[in-house]
Amino acid sequence: MAGKRTTGDVKEWAQGFRMLSDLTRLGILATLARGPRNVTALCKALGLRQKTISTHLGILRMGRFVTGTRQGKSVVYEANKAALKELARVLKAMAQSRAYRRS
């Protein structure tokens, strides 16, 4: 990771990790990683109610982990691959940084 981490960076990472710390949200992301889906398809794939899926999609959208595109009467969601790549980059940098290693 180039440069010095700022307190803002660390807070942003922590917020992103909190957003991903829920099994339902991870399930949604894993499902969307296989391709775009609407809420009905996500409900069917995960066996959850529409309200539950919609609530968690809202959180994932706030974190920019998911994007939605209106198609007719429904919205099709997909994983934001750029945001997930950035998360992977941060995790890799943390793993390689001495500041995060335990002795």
Asked if 50 contacts 39 with a C-beta cutoff of 8 angstroms, the reply is yes
| pLDDT for res 99 | 62
Mean local confidence (pLDDT), 19-44: 95
Give the C-alpha separation, 87 to 59, whole Å: 16
For residue 102, pLDDT beyond 80: no
Residue 53 one-letter amino acid: I
For residue 2, pLDDT beyond 50: no
Q: Is the pTM of this model over 0.95?
A: no
Topology given in CATH for the domain delimited by 10-98: Arc Repressor Mutant, subunit A (1.10.10)
Mean local confidence (pLDDT), 6-27: 82
3-state secondary structure of 7: helix
Domains in the chain: boundaries:
10-98
| Angle in degrees, 0-180, between the axes of helices 23-33 and 50-62, rounded to the nearest 10 | 80
